[in-house]
Structures are given as structure tokens and as C-alpha cells.
Structure 1
Amino acid sequence: MKNQWVALGAVMAVAAGGSARAGVDLSVLDASMAGPRAQVLVLGSVHLSGMSKDFKPASLEPVLERLAAFKPDVITIENIPGEGCDLLARHPAVYPPDNVAPYCNNTDAAKKATGLDVPAAIAEANKTLAQWPAQPTPAQRRHLASLFLAANDSSSAVVQWWQLPQAEQHAGDGLDEALVALLAKRGARNNESDQIAARLAARLGLQRVYPIDDHTGDNVTVADEEAYGDAVQKAWEAARAKAKPMRDREDELKKGGDMLALYRYVNSPEVMRIAIDADFGAAMRDPSSQHYGQLYVAGWETRNLRMVANIRAAFREHPGARVLSIVGSSHKPWFDDLLGRMQGVDVVDVEKILRDR
């Protein structure tokens, strides 16, 4: 198959020859397309793990109601997928385990319960979903939850768990008592992958969420890491004063507990312009001779490119899909721009979705 791809690429290169050099306007490629267009909504999120200890997930209900009205059939989250975590684990010299640990869960307990390592669990979960009935039994949901945990996809496991009646939330069918306790713990975490994405998926009757994060691209290699960090930090400090009113207002909204107002605020274009300039714009103004700021932004953009590719893969077999991507708000401008370049894809205005109905 690989040789076939190479041969096909060579034929296309010859056929495209002159036109590629002249430039092709891809923005009009789908102007006369047949079939439905995908609708993609990117919700820029605060990281709920950073909220105060008295944060109540129930305060997210007005946000969930508006997202539910969009009726997504695919929801993506800012988590590294099981394949990505398996890749990172197999290359510890490139991706130090200490750096990977915050992003990838330990799956030993799930492997013990199911007998499956991450690759085998991913394959089995995909096989199970391909044969998934319209009305799954509680046993089937418990089994699929166990597969998701073994596949390092705990938020999708929570989606299955929350669709079980309380009386059916018990061990069995691949879940032992340790995994049941793990599901309860994961479901109580304050993060947007669970409290927004997984909760919404369960409410809409979806079977999973799609982790799309990728940290291979921002694994920037520099000779002097301390100097690199200092240069980027100094760039941020130079932009801090201009961004302070915006940051102060965001903190006020967080403390006030009005999560709908907070999400409207962080998703407003003007707030995003200030936030992006204070971070990445400031880095591009870094005067260091090593151009550390440019390296930082290059890593960030590579990460976003790979994340958006993962989003596209999540709905590539579903023309006309309604896709909700929940991601840290700093990613949203890149996501909107890159997804807006995709063929047959329309980017939905999040301000309209969050508006009062």
C-alpha cells in the first residue's frame, strides 16, 4: 500500500506540474460540491482544573444547554488519544516520561481487568463501536467503558458510565471494583473534557468523545532550555500591562460563578485578540539572538496543525457532520482559521451559539 501511495503521488505531481507553481485557489474548490457541508463549532474554554475549590459543575448548565441546542454528533476534546500516549511511551528518549505524565493516564489497572494493552484495547473498542446496537444493554456499556479505560480514553469511558442507570453502575463485564472507583473519580474531575464534553455527549446519547491533542509538535529542541524559558517569560512580561484589564475581568467572572458570562467573554474576538497578542504576538517580538520567541510560536503552530488534523480525521467519514471542538481558548483562533480552510466545512460563530435564546 505504501508503494501505491508513492506512485499515485508521483502521477499527481506530474499532472499538476504547472498549475501547482501558478497557485491554486482552494477556497473555491468546494463552491459547487455535492452533498452536505460539515458544521464545526469551536468553543474556547477556560481550563476548569484551575477554578477555585468551591467551583460547582452545575454552574455550567447554561453553557451545556446552548451547546446541546447545536446538536453536535461529534465532540472533540483537548486530550491526547490513546495512540498518541502509546507513541510517547515508546520513545522515552524523545519524550521524557515526566513531561508525558500530566497528559497520559496510567492504564495498568485497566490492563489488569481487561487483559488488553493500549493498542489491543483501541482495536477492540473500534470493533465494538462498529457493531454497536441502537439500544445497548447495560452490560454492553460496562464492557465498552472498560475498553475505553484500557485504551487510555477515560472521558469516553465516562460517557458510557453516565448513560447507565445508577443501579447498573457497578462492576462486571470488564469493569472490576478498581475501575468502578476510577470512573467515579474521573467523573468528578473539574475539567472541560468531562464536565462539558463527556456530560454533553452522554446527554445527547453519543457513544464517545474524540481526544485530539498532540504534544509531539511543540517538543522544541533548544541547547539552553533556561535561556529559552527566560526569553519567552520576558516577552510575556513586556505585554502584561496591556493585557491586565482583560485578565482582571476574566478573574472577576470566574469568582462570580456565572459560567455563561465567562464563556461569552473568553470567546469574544476582542478578548481573544488581546490574549493572543500578549502571548504569541509578544513572543514574536522577542529580541533574543537565538530567536527563542519564534521557536516557541513554531512549536505552538505545529501543535495546532496536528490537533486540527485529528479533528478532521474524527469526522472524515461523516459528510455533513455537526462537530463541537472544546479546547483551551488560546487555540481557538488557529482552529477557526485552519478548519475554515477545509473543503466542505463551515465554521460556526460561537458567539451566536452562546447568545441568549
Structure 2
Amino acid sequence: MNFRTLPVLLALVAALNAAPIHAQAAAPDAGPATGYVPAFQPGQHPGTPAGAPNQVLVLGTPHLAEFEGQLRQEQLAPLLARLRQWRPQLIAVERLSGLQCDSLRRQPARYADTVKSYCPDVTQAAQLTGLDVVQANEEAGRLLAAWPAQPTPAQRRRLAAVFLAGGESISALVQWLYLPAGERRAGEGLNDALVARLERLRGRASEDSWIAAPLAVEMGLQRVYSVDDHTSDLPDPADTQAQEAAIRQAWDNEAARTRRTRDQALREGLAQAGGVLALYQDCNAPGMPALVYRSDFGAALAEPSPQGYGRAYVGAWETRNLRMVANIREVLAQQPGTRLLTLVGASHKGYYEAYLQQMHDVRLVNPMAVLKD
């Protein structure tokens, strides 16, 4: 489990409890807790788009950084082969966009910890390119709009530098991977420090560096899209011990133990032939989202603390997933009729698919059909 979100929960509870008056005033007219279902369900009206529908493959993934030292990049070849056969035209990853990080930096009282945890430093790339984050993103868009069929190494180095200045490290890595080894050097806005940074990123165990970026190069794509969202984060409260204890107690359940047993067996088989593919098949199995819910969010929702720690945790989780899916939908709206692969932590997968299924112009792809042996 990722405990980095836990310290914000007390503050989330405070925010929720700070505005009970409107909720309590509305309660008498809200009707029973169950029974009302709106007649209009967007997911039941997929519509008939003028062209090809958007196809979205949600690939739930473990965070490969957890397997540092246990996993080699070449072990991912069977997975990449299957994704390549699906031929994605867009790739989205679970990272904060440079533009969102730029916005969060402007509110340090609320987001200092979030920026420290999730936002790469753009200072050096900004100095070398002369572009701030907004300008760099605009420049990247301008360059890509006129991108030649056969870009020169200098053009790729320049675009990599611009992406770094714009806070889009994985898109910078995509350009870096296109370059022959002899052309991976300083120049066009890259100095030795930024070159070293790109090389570290290339070698780091990460689904972004080892799956998304190499696959983008194989598919002839020039960038990936960062769709994570942390705008609902709040500053750490003064005391998190009671909050963490309550959530940990909720997570002490049979479904969580089942997940741990499965995870351990898959980890032990990782080095065997087919071990990585088995891991991804398990993450994307039809029953996994329900197991995740029972072990984590459903258990937290029923957590009985008077402060409502579990309910605040679930509220923050749902908010984040809704905004992440909104970011994906925005990307699709800009390029309708496309195949989009989105890589996301396995606990997000069920929420991604449920929310995306409500979109009129989205058709979900069965990941198990793509991952089959």
C-alpha cells in the first residue's frame, strides 16, 4: 500500500466537517439513502460518433520501482510485444503534468509536500532553454505541430530539453530513446547534468521508463500524456497517528491477506518464464477490482472512527480518480477516433474503467484479450 496519501486525511476530514451545515439542511429533502436512481445513465447511451470510436485500454500495473533489483527491463519483452500488437496511438501515464506542477508550486502552503514528492525540478532546463513551464509546453506543441518525418538528432535533443523545461520528463525520455547512442549527448539546451538525468531515468525501474517510453518509440509516437492529479491534496495535519492507526486497522482484513498472498507468489515467480506476464494478467483479472475494493476502500468506508478517517480517505481517492479520468477524456477529445493505452497503478484500474465507461465516446478494451498467452 502507498501510505504517502495518509498524512493528508485528517486535514481532509477537517475540510469535510467544516461544511456540514448545507449537507444537514439538505438532508430532509434528499430522500431515502437508497431507492433513487436517475433515469439517465450516460454509459447506456454510447452514441454513434461521426467517425471511429475512441478505444481505451486500461492496463493496471504494479509500480515497478517496488521491484528494484528483482526485475530487468528485458523481462518486460513479452508484455511489450502484446501491447505493440494492439497498436496504441496515444499513451497516458500516472504522472503529474508539468502544467499542474507549475500551478501547485504557486500554492506552497497547501502543496509543498506534493511538489516535493511528485514534481521534477525544472530550474536548470528552464535556464538553459530560456522557457518557463507554460512557455515550454507551448513550444513543445509548436514543435510537434511542424514535426518532420525524419527529425535530426539536434531537433530531438532540442525537443527533449523543451519537455524537461515543461516538466514532462517521460516525453523527454521518448525523444532521448529515439537517438542513437552516439547522439545522446549535450547540446541544443541539454547540458551534462540533464544528460545524466535522462540516463538515470532510462535505467530506472518504472512502468513509465520501461514500458510507456519504449513503447511510444516503437509506435512512432513523439510524447506521452501525464494524467495524474493531486489537486485534492491538503497539507499534513499536526497529528497523523490516530488517522494512520484507523486506516491500518481497516486494512487488516481477509481480502487484504488474500492480496498479499497472491502478490508474494507472483513476486517469487517473477524471474521465471512468463512471470511478468502472469503478474500483469493478475493485476488486470476481472475480479481484481472487487478484491481491491474489499481489501482497501470498502473496508476504509466502514471504518468506525468518529472523525470519519476512512470516509475522508475514500473521498480523496474517488476525487483523484475522477480528475485523472477527466484528463484522459480531454486528451481523447483532442484526437477523436484513436486507440489510447493508459498505464495506471492497479488499485486505480477498476475506478478508471467504471468512470470511462460512462463516457459517450469511449469504448473500453478487454485487457485480458491483449494479455492472453
What TM-score do the two structures reach when normalised by structure 2? 0.85
Q: Identify the match of residue 96 of structure 2 among 63, 75, 80.
A: 80
Identity of aligned residues (%): 44
Q: Give the Å deviation of 1:263.
A: 0.7
Of the three residues 207, 212, 217, the one matched with 2:222 is 207
Deviation, 1:23, is 4.2
The answer as to 2:311 corresponding to 1:311 is no
What's the Cα RMSD here?
2.0
Question: Which of 143, 156, 169 does residue 128 from structure 1 map onto?
Answer: 143
Deviations 1:262-289 (A, max 9, x none): 1111111223322331111110120111
Report if the CA contact (8 A) 1:220-1:299 is conserved: no
Counterpart contact for 2:73–2:210, Cα < 8 Å: yes
Worse-superposed segment, 66-75 or 108-117: 108-117
**Distance apart, 1:136 and its partner CA:** 1.5
How many residues align structurally? 335
How far off is 1:220 after superposition?
8.1
Give yes or no for the alignment of 1:300 onto 2:288: no
Q: Answer yes or no: is the 8 Å Cα contact 2:157–2:176 preserved in 1.
A: yes
Deviating more after overlay: 246-255 vs 346-355:
246-255
Q: How big is each residue's C-alpha offset from its partner over 1:99-155, in whole Å with a ceiling of 9 and x where there is no partner?
A: 421211111221222122212211111111122122212111111000001111111
Alignment of 1:1-357 (within 5 A): 23-95=39-111, 97-219=112-234, 224-239=239-254, 240-254=256-270, 256=272, 258-356=275-373
Contact 1:158 1:194 (C-alpha < 8 Å) held by counterparts: yes
For residue 40 of structure 1, give the secondary structure of its aligned residue in structure 2: strand
Which amino acid letter does the alignment assign opposite residue 284 of structure 2? N
**Higher mean C-alpha deviation, range 236-245 or range 55-64:** 236-245
2:47–2:360 CA contact under 8 A, matched in 1: no
CA 1:167–1:53: 2 relative to 1, 3 Å: same
Q: Measure the CA separation in 2 of the matches of 1:32 and 1:179.
A: 47
How far off its partner does 1:248 sit?
2.8
Q: Distance in 2 between matches of 1:23 and 1:261?
A: 41
CA spacing shift, 1:52–1:183, aligned 2, 3 Å: closer
State the alpha-carbon separation in 1 of the partners of residues 44 and 292 from structure 2: 32
Find the aligned partners of 2:293 and 2:46 in 1 and give their Cα distance.
Answer: 30
| 2:156–2:176 Cα contact (<8 Å) kept | yes
- 2:55 aligns to what SS in structure 1? strand
Q: 1:351 to 1:112 in 2, by over 3 A?
A: same
Question: Following the alignment from structure 1 to structure 2, what is the Cα–Cα distance between the partners of residues 138 and 211?
Answer: 24
Contact kept? 1:44, 1:327, Cα under 8 Å: yes
8 Å contact 1:246–1:271 — kept in the other structure? no
8 Å contact 2:91–2:216 — kept in the other structure? Answer: yes
**Structure 1 spans left out of the alignment, 5+ residues:** 1-20
Q: Residues 46 and 359 of structure 2 are in contact (CA less than 8 Å); yes or no, is this contact kept in structure 1? A: no
Which structure 2 residue ranges, 5 or more long, are not aligned? Answer: 1-36
Give SS of 2:108's match: coil
**More displaced 10-residue stretch of structure 1: 111-120 or 149-158:** 111-120
**Secondary structure in 2 matching 1:146:** helix
Tell me if the contact between 2:283 and 2:346 (Cα under 8 Å) persists in the aligned partners. yes
Return the offset for 1:221.
Answer: 7.8
> Taking structure 1 as reference, are residues 264 and 170 closer, same or farther at Cα in structure 2, changes over 3 Å only?
same
Q: Residue 33 of structure 1 contacts residue 344 of structure 1 at CA under 8 Å; is this kept in 2? A: yes
Distance 1:114 1:156, change over 3 A: same
Q: Structure 1's 163 and 22: CA in aligned 2 closer, same or farther, altered over 3 A?
A: closer
Q: Letter of the 1:198 partner, please give it.
A: A
* TM-score where L is the length of structure 1: 0.88
Shift of 1:225: 3.0
| Conserved? CA contact 1:66–1:353, under 8 Å | yes
Q: Once structures 1 and 2 are overlaid, which stretch shifts more, 76-85 or 28-37? A: 28-37
Question: How far, CA to CA, are the matches of 1:190 and 1:232 in structure 2?
Answer: 29
